[in-house]
């Protein structure tokens, strides 16, 4: 468990669930006395303890397990690489289950690339209603009205002020503005007894407004708190905002989350993207989509190093994923499927003009997405989105998408390079097959237009027609090549089976 409060709640739940069973359950956290923690460590070492629930204290060198069989890591996104390396040492012959609503980019990337198994829970709890999310400038009038409405219907409020130096002053201000409300403060520098008493008063409904830091981010499960207000939300990460929003809306009541930033503040582009994403993904099961967006914004990190986010610099992200996929297939003993990567050098204008998409970051993102297009359906979906966001595209953007489709078809056909020169197209081949070329020679469409260049790297030259677009001629040739290739391979396979 990443926090003491969360560990305490899990301990109480486990004690209730296993009541009546011969299972010894212990807890290891700063809520326990030093003597209690010593006894727990001895029980873990001797095997007397069957289930131990704890915070990062479980990763101390003094913790020795007699026979560890199952390790469950809750709120995995709160653990650093150092912690995870220690967990790996513990779990070489142990089953490990990690839980997170918003896994960090590095972990999500490992799951998506097949290094880890992953399953998702799709069904929300019964009678739950999605949280209404508002992104706005900080306005005391609006926020005080929201707090009063929540208190009038018998609910409670979290007011997140993430600066300990003046949190008491903010709590006094709220107590004056929302007259008659019971206000308390909670933060990580409070001692165990103070924090425990505050959280108990909130859980029992004695405290109506809790002014707190991000200490509530994980583990707080109080169904009656249905309004969340966050100051300086633009300073927080996307996954963190989603975790904080999850602290409300834990009953059948409609909850509200107000993500505020200072009046007159100019948001950075990244902060604006984060706030737009958290507002966009408000429905249930949006944690996975938020984690995916976080992966896009922050990068996938380094599987073998300490970086939990960041983009591949030397090889590029797409090449990195390709190399990673091949490595995973090799380790699993699966045949590595080699796909020809085709480059295209054509005498056409294929780019995204700055006048059409002014933002360089958005242009780079579109270039990346267009490069991944492989089917007409994918191309249509992407073009619909581009038109919706930026208006009717210039011809150069349409050409860029057609080139992407051409490169995809060339890769399937085993063509590694397409170049236009002196009125003809040159198709360089990964593997040369004269039977395919002979079949194409026999087609009326290519009569007098084809010839073979038998240099060190074999190639087929196609004379261009004058009234047909270059890309369409190239795609038509590749489709015919692939069709004949499949027919010949099928004929050869049938002949081989007949001989057998």
Asked if residue 308 has pLDDT above 80, the reply is no
How many other C-beta atoms lie within 10 A of the C-beta of residue 254? 11
Looking at residues 400-404, what average pLDDT do you find? 88
Kindly report, residue by residue over 29-40, the tens digit of the pLDDT.
877 788 888 899
How many other C-beta atoms lie within 10 A of the C-beta of residue 136? 14
pLDDT at residue 301, as a whole number: 52
pLDDT at residue 1, as a whole number: 39
Kindly report, residue by residue over 150-162, the tens digit of the pLDDT.
999 999 999 999 9
Least confident of 107-116, 199-208, 220-229: 107-116
DSSP string covering 243-306: HHHTTS--SSS--EEEEEE-TT----HHHHHHHHHHHH--STT-HHHHHHHHHHHH----SSSS
Q: Which two tokens stand for residue 326?
A: 């091949």
**pLDDT above 70: percentage of residues in the chain:** 81
pLDDT at residue 184, as a whole number: 95
493 alpha carbon, distance to own chain's centre: 43
Of the ranges 97-101, 393-397, 464-468, the best mean pLDDT one: 393-397
φ/ψ of residue 242, rounded to 5: -65, -40
From the list 153, 348, 131, 358, the residue with the least C-alpha distance to 250 is: 131
pLDDT at residue 175, as a whole number: 94
φ/ψ of residue 7, rounded to 5: -60, -40
Phi-psi region of 294 (alpha: psi -120 to 50; beta: other; left: phi over 0): alpha
| pLDDT-derived band at 314, boundaries 50, 70, 90 | very low
From the list 296, 253, 304, 251, the residue with the least C-alpha distance to 274 is: 296
Mean pLDDT rounded to a whole number for the chain: 81
Matching residue, tokens 């006094």 = 172
- Is the pTM higher than 0.85? The answer reads no
pLDDT at residue 114, as a whole number: 61
In the chain, what are the domains? Answer: 4-99 (3.40.50.300), 132-282 (3.40.50.300), 343-495 (3.90.1150.50)
| Between residues 277 and 444, the one the model is more confident about | 444
| pLDDT-derived band at 371, boundaries 50, 70, 90 | confident
Collect contacts of 118-124 with beta carbons under 8 A, ≥24 apart: 120/285, 120/288, 121/285, 122/285, 124/284, 124/285
Kindly report, residue by residue over 41-78, the tens digit of the pLDDT.
999 889 899 999 988 788 887 888 888 888 888 877 66
Looking at residues 282-306, what average pLDDT do you find? 56
Q: How many residues does the chain have?
A: 500
Asked if residue 194 has pLDDT above 80, the reply is yes
Cα–Cα distance, 433 to 429 (Å, whole number): 9
Asked if residue 481 has pLDDT above 60, the reply is yes
| Between residues 416 and 145, the one the model is more confident about | 145
| Between residues 187 and 339, the one the model is more confident about | 187
pLDDT at residue 310, as a whole number: 54
Asked if residue 393 has pLDDT above 60, the reply is yes
| Between residues 219 and 42, the one the model is more confident about | 42
Least confident of 183-197, 228-242, 360-374: 360-374
Kindly report, residue by residue over 405-421, the tens digit of the pLDDT.
888 888 877 888 888 88
């Amino acid at each position: 468990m990443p926090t003491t409060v969360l560990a305490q709640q899990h301990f109480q739940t486990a004690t209730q669930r296993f009541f009546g069973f011969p299972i010894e359950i212990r807890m290891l956290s700063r809520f326990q006395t030093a003597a209690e923690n010593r006894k727990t460590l001895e029980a873990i070492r001797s095997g007397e303890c069957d289930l131990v629930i704890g915070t990062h204290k479980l990763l101390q060198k003094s913790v020795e397990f007699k026979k560890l069989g199952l390790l469950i890591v809750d709120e995995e996104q709160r653990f650093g690489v150092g912690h995870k390396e220690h967990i790996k040492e513990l779990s070489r012959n142990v089953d490990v289950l990690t839980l997170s609503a918003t896994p960090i980019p590095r972990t999500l990337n490992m799951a998506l690339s097949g290094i880890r198994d992953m399953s998702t829970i799709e069904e929300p709890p019964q009678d739950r209603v999605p949280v209404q999310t508002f992104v706005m400038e900080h306005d005391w009038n609006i926020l005080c009205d929201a707090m009063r409405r929540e208190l009038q219907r018998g609910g409670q409020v979290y007011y997140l002020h993430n600066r300990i130096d003046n949190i008491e002053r903010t709590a006094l201000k709220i107590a004056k503005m929302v007259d008659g409300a019971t206000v308390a403060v909670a933060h990580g520098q409070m001692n165990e007894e103070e924090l425990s008493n505050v959280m108990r008063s909130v859980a029992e409904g004695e405290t109506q407004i809790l002014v707190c830091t991000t200490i509530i981010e994980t583990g707080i499960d109080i169904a009656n708190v249905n309004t969340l207000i966050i100051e300086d939300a633009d300073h927080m990460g996307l996954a963190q905002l989603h975790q904080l929003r999850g602290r409300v809306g834990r009953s059948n009541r409609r909850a509200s989350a107000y993500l505020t930033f200072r009046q007159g503040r100019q948001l950075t582009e990244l902060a604006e993207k984060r706030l737009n994403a958290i507002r966009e993904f408000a429905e249930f099961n949006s944690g996975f989509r938020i984690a995916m967006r976080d992966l896009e914004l922050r990068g996938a990190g380094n599987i073998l190093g300490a970086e939990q986010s960041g983009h591949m610099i030397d090889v590029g992200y797409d090449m990195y994923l390709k190399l990673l996929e091949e490595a995973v297939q090799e380790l699993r003993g699966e045949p590595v499927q080699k796909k020809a990567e085709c480059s295209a050098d054509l005498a056409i204008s294929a780019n995204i003009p700055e006048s059409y998409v002014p933002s360089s970051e958005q242009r780079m993102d579109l270039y990346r997405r267009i490069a991944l297009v492989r089917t007409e359906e994918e191309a249509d979906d992407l073009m619909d989105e581009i038109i919706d966001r930026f208006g009717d595209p210039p011809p150069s953007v349409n050409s860029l998408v057609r080139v992407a489709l051409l490169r995809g078809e060339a890769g399937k056909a085993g063509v590694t390079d397409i170049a236009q020169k002196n009125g003809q197209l040159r198709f360089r081949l990964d593997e040369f097959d004269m039977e395919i070329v002979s079949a194409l020679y026999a087609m009326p469409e290519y009569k007098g237009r084809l010839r073979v260049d038998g240099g060190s790297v074999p190639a087929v030259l196609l004379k261009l027609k004058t009234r047909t677009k270059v890309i369409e001629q190239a795609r038509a040739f590749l489709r015919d090549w692939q069709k004949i290739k499949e027919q010949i391979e099928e004929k050869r396979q049938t002949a081989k089976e007949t001989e057998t």
